[in-house]
Chains A and B, each alone.
Chain A
Amino acid sequence: MRRGFLTSAGVLAGLILAVGPANAERFKCPHTGGNLVFGQEANINTLDQMTSATISTRNIAMNIYESLMTRDENNHPILELADSMTESPDHLTYTFKLRKPIHFHNGKLMTSADVVASFDRYAKVGNQRSILNNVKDWDAPDADTFVIHMKSPQPTFIEALSSFSVPIVIIPSELKDTPAQQLTNPIGTGPFQLVESVPGSHVKLKRYEGYSPNTSFNERTGFGGYKQACLDTVTFRIVTEPGARVAGLRTGELQGVEDLPAKSLPDLKGDKNIKILPLKNWWIQIASPNTSTAPTDNLMFRKAVQAALDMDEIMDAASDGNYTLNVGFQYPNQPDYTDAGKETYNIKDPALAKKYLAQSGYAGEPVVLLTNKDYPPMYNSALVMQQQLQAVGINAQMKVVDWPTSVQLSQKEGPGWNFFFTGWGTQPALGALATMQFLASPNATYRPKDDKGDPDLEAAWKDMNTLPTAEGRHEAFARMQKIVLERVYALPFGSFTKVQGVRANVDGFVPYRIPRMSNVWMTN
């Protein structure tokens, strides 16, 4: 059964009922108390969740904030701050009944006025405000009801609304005029509230005693579900050095860390005080061709490159061995997954590559691999790809700059670069729709000339967004993936495993898109 795309309130209601209120076996903290210190890899710049798309912000802020809707463990949309949602038969109105009573961290009771204010702010400064492009307006008929009116039916709206990329988190109405990035004192409704945030050092949270868990569920699921703060405090400490994270976990200075380096795993596995928790499919490693310039404007040449690549070797270097070979833009455990176009993946046939190369008329022009040194996996995969391309007679050259520069260069059409190395993490996790936007105009990553995308691709993209049935949209995704792979508009190398680890006395920690601190407890 495909449940990736929800079409009607019926399906949604069914989903909620399936896990609906059951009095038996609701999660209860086996042990309350304790202070957990978590070693986070990247710096957090802001906790203003509405205006930040970075993983580092989400890691922390999503323990503080909640939204109307979010995703469950299997990435299906679920309700969070609402008890129910009904979609009108003409698909133009979504009516949310808010859960009550919910109190913000400042003690204020949440009402529909706060939801309206949050949507108002998001529409103005929200980083992904295009979610609301097709929304006519929203209003609050009473204190517990929030209604969204659409301009036209949009079968993918609920998928977009429940996205955790840059979620529409609910904040107290008095904060609605805070400019982008400047909401430095986050006040939400989540199980944890902010104690202090010291940029560059740490963010400390504590249990929010006035939290009202969502009793429609018995367990934490995804970003939502029945959540409880068992820990007294959680401190996210910025530890950028991988070696320092390993050392900190070993000494017990840190009770949990993200992104343990693969090289240290064999040793850590022997340590009885440490639990290793791999999170498969953390991101897809990608090289995007520039089809507005030679020689990558030539399909035969791109096919030659595709044929030359040995994905195992590239992924091994990129991840130090922590990877899974993966076809396309979704993972096998996801509802949208398809292996359409799999014949093009991991061909590693230098003879075939040379044959295509001859057919393409390639004459030794330089091929620029644009990568960055800020993200070692991207740098490492470019280095190995360069060697593989050189082996079949392609004059591959590295252009290594820093991340902001490489993004800026990659957005330019014309000469200067031929392959841009990047990684897609959040979007593949959100589903096919979120991912394939990278390959559609405007701003398709394969940089079509004058930003005019391949018509077949654009047609498939349109179908993915507008076909009324989930099956139809899934078929459109499979078609789009096949075109992308066969015409080499992207080279997805494979997927990464992000390894997390906790001390043995930490229980209930299940790796997810963020380190979830609710329903996690510590003994002794």
Chain B
Amino acid sequence: MAPDTAIAVADHVDAEDIPEKRQHPARVTLRRLLHHRLFLLGGGLCLIVVLLAVLAPVITTVSPYKLSMRNKFTPPGTDFVFGTDNFGRSLWSRVVWGAQLSMFIGGAVVLINAVFGTAIGAAAGYFRRLDNLLMRFNDALMAFPAVLLAIAVTAVLGPSVNDVIIALGIVYTPRTARIVRASVLVLREMEYVQAAVAAGAGHWRILRRHILPNAMAPLIVQLSFLFAYAVLTEATLSFLGVGAVPPTPTWGNIMAEGRQYMIDAPWIITIPGAALMVTVLGLNLLGDGLRDVLDPRLRVQQ
């Protein structure tokens, strides 16, 4: 399932009351992040997954697609660290390459959101005449249950990795746009922005110089959680059989194929499931840390 609208919830934790000296803001941010234990834990987990993803060609010896009927249903052990599936494919290879796909899909969805979510949100928040139109459309897209919308869109587009990325982009961009719009709505009423307007600065300049940089913090926090949701929803789609086409080794696909053997060969689902969980946990911790440190509301309060 997709915790879709959850990302719109401001679930802010209490700030650590560290007295600040006058320092460069970026430095302060970095120092606070490095002092945030859970952020470091999340970062560590994510780093492991990213390393697996990047090193996949090096650390696996067998292709994740290589069938070997003789070895089917080998439990985890010395021959196959993670065991094999019903085709005798190495689950180690499949899970590691799955990490690569998860990271790629999550990253691409984040990129789509960063670009289109910002553009739509900024346009709606800044140009009041566009607001109604854009936000009605946005609301309509958000009114669909997220997983169903993703299923329908992948059904339309086709079952390749790229199509899944586009589908997830369509599902999540309205949510990002809404958050950006909220920040922009507040920022455009700020005195320094009004001053820039009075001084005759162009819209583009105002947006680029005065508004967007200040809307970045909530966006970055949103995107870090979005990464987690994208990974999770992609796995859900694959698991339901509507994600990236098998035999592509996504974690959801591995679990979907292993589902009918869950009693007699449970490792086929438990291992990729655990990988998925650890990844999402890492990303969520990362997001938490970023939010604690970056959330402007907390900064304002201090």
A and B touch in the complex (CB under 8 A): yes
User: Footprint of B on A, CB under 8 Å?
Assistant: 241-243, 246-247, 261, 263-264, 267, 313, 316-317, 320, 373-374, 376, 379-380, 383-384, 387, 398, 400-402
- Whether A316 touches B69, Cβ cut-off 8 Å, given contacts A263-B264, A373-B246, A379-B246, is yes
How far is A384 from B261 in the complex, measured between Cα atoms in Å? 19
- Judge if B185 is at the interface, Cβ distance under 8 Å: no
How far is A73 from B242 in the complex, measured between Cα atoms in Å? 40
- Judge if B86 is at the interface, Cβ distance under 8 Å: yes
**Do A242 and B247 touch (CB < 8 A)?**
no
**Do A400 and B159 touch (CB < 8 A)?**
yes
Q: What are 6 residue pairs bridging A and B, where the CB atoms are less than 8 Å apart in the complex?
A: A241-B260, A246-B263, A261-B260, A317-B87, A379-B246, A401-B245
How far is A275 from B259 in the complex, measured between Cα atoms in Å? 24
**Do B241 and A243 touch (CB < 8 A)?**
no
Size of chain B's interface in residues, with CB distance under 8 A? 20
**Do B261 and A383 touch (CB < 8 A)?**
no
How far is A49 from B262 in the complex, measured between Cα atoms in Å? 34
**Do B247 and A320 touch (CB < 8 A)?**
no
Per-position 1/0 for B55-74, Cβ under 8 A of A = 00000000000010100010
Report the minimum CB–CB distance from A371 to chain B (whole Å).
10
Which of chain B's residues have a CB closer than 8 A to the CB of A398?
Answer: 245, 247
Partner of B263 from the list A247, A317, A402 (CB cut-off 8 Å) is A247
Per-position 1/0 for B191-219, Cβ under 8 A of A = 00000000000000000000000000000
4 other A-B residue contacts (CB within 8 Å) besides A243-B262, A384-B69, A398-B245: A243-B259, A247-B263, A401-B159, A402-B242
- Whether A383 touches B67, Cβ cut-off 8 Å, given contacts A320-B86, A373-B246, A400-B245, is yes
Partner of A242 from the list B67, B246, B260 (CB cut-off 8 Å) is B260
Report the minimum CB–CB distance from B157 to chain A (whole Å).
12
**Do A383 and B159 touch (CB < 8 A)?**
no
- Judge if B52 is at the interface, Cβ distance under 8 Å: no
Report the minimum CB–CB distance from B69 to chain A (whole Å).
6
- Judge if B265 is at the interface, Cβ distance under 8 Å: yes
**Do A263 and B265 touch (CB < 8 A)?**
yes
9 closest Cβ pairs, A-B complex: A242-B260, A400-B245, A243-B262, A263-B264, A243-B263, A387-B67, A373-B241, A263-B261, A264-B264
Which of chain A's residues have a CB closer than 8 A to the CB of B159?
Answer: 400-401
How far is A373 from B265 in the complex, measured between Cα atoms in Å? 20
Report the minimum CB–CB distance from B87 to chain A (whole Å).
6
Partner of A376 from the list B155, B260, B263, B265 (CB cut-off 8 Å) is B260
Report the minimum CB–CB distance from A381 to chain B (whole Å).
12
**Do A383 and B247 touch (CB < 8 A)?**
yes
How far is A110 from B164 in the complex, measured between Cα atoms in Å? 56
Which of chain B's residues have a CB closer than 8 A to the CB of A387?
Answer: 67
How far is A300 from B245 in the complex, measured between Cα atoms in Å? 31
| Closest A residue by C-beta to B88 | A317
How far is A379 from B241 in the complex, measured between Cα atoms in Å? 12
Chain B 259-274 interface residues, beta-carbon cutoff 8 Å to A: 259-265
**Do B259 and A241 touch (CB < 8 A)?**
yes
How far is A379 from B86 in the complex, measured between Cα atoms in Å? 13
**Do A384 and B67 touch (CB < 8 A)?**
yes
How far is A401 from B242 in the complex, measured between Cα atoms in Å? 9
Chain B 151-185 interface residues, beta-carbon cutoff 8 Å to A: 155, 158-159
Which of chain A's residues have a CB closer than 8 A to the CB of B73?
Answer: 263
Which of chain A's residues have a CB closer than 8 A to the CB of B265?
Answer: 263
Which of chain B's residues have a CB closer than 8 A to the CB of A313?
Answer: 69
Which of chain B's residues have a CB closer than 8 A to the CB of A402?
Answer: 155, 241-242
How far is A241 from B67 in the complex, measured between Cα atoms in Å? 25
| Closest A residue by C-beta to B155 | A402
How far is A317 from B242 in the complex, measured between Cα atoms in Å? 22
Chain B 58-99 interface residues, beta-carbon cutoff 8 Å to A: 67, 69, 73, 86-87
**Do A374 and B241 touch (CB < 8 A)?**
yes
How far is A330 from B87 in the complex, measured between Cα atoms in Å? 29
How far is A148 from B69 in the complex, measured between Cα atoms in Å? 55
How far is A62 from B210 in the complex, measured between Cα atoms in Å? 73
How far is A401 from B67 in the complex, measured between Cα atoms in Å? 21
| Closest A residue by C-beta to B264 | A263
Which of chain B's residues have a CB closer than 8 A to the CB of A373?
Answer: 241, 245-246
How far is A247 from B262 in the complex, measured between Cα atoms in Å? 11
Which of chain B's residues have a CB closer than 8 A to the CB of A243?
Answer: 259-263
How far is A379 from B247 in the complex, measured between Cα atoms in Å? 9
| Closest B residue by C-beta to A312 | B69
Report the minimum CB–CB distance from A13 to chain B (whole Å).
48
Which of chain B's residues have a CB closer than 8 A to the CB of A376?
Answer: 260
| Closest A residue by C-beta to B68 | A387
Which of chain B's residues have a CB closer than 8 A to the CB of A400?
Answer: 159, 245-246
How far is A313 from B70 in the complex, measured between Cα atoms in Å? 10
Report the minimum CB–CB distance from A374 to chain B (whole Å).
7
How far is A264 from B264 in the complex, measured between Cα atoms in Å? 6
Which of chain A's residues have a CB closer than 8 A to the CB of B69?
Answer: 313, 316-317, 384
| Closest A residue by C-beta to B89 | A383
| Closest A residue by C-beta to B86 | A320
Which of chain A's residues have a CB closer than 8 A to the CB of B261?
Answer: 243, 261, 263
**Do A264 and B259 touch (CB < 8 A)?**
no
How far is A514 from B69 in the complex, measured between Cα atoms in Å? 32
How far is A263 from B69 in the complex, measured between Cα atoms in Å? 14
| Closest A residue by C-beta to B261 | A263
| Closest B residue by C-beta to A263 | B264
**Do B263 and A264 touch (CB < 8 A)?**
yes
How far is A398 from B245 in the complex, measured between Cα atoms in Å? 10
| Closest B residue by C-beta to A379 | B246
Report the minimum CB–CB distance from A318 to chain B (whole Å).
11
How far is A401 from B86 in the complex, measured between Cα atoms in Å? 21
How far is A263 from B257 in the complex, measured between Cα atoms in Å? 14
Which of chain B's residues have a CB closer than 8 A to the CB of A242?
Answer: 260
**Do B246 and A267 touch (CB < 8 A)?**
no
Which of chain B's residues have a CB closer than 8 A to the CB of A320?
Answer: 86
How far is A402 from B242 in the complex, measured between Cα atoms in Å? 8
How far is A405 from B283 in the complex, measured between Cα atoms in Å? 36
Chain B 83-134 interface residues, beta-carbon cutoff 8 Å to A: 86-87
How far is A262 from B188 in the complex, measured between Cα atoms in Å? 65
Which of chain B's residues have a CB closer than 8 A to the CB of A384?
Answer: 67, 69, 87
Report the minimum CB–CB distance from A56 to chain B (whole Å).
18
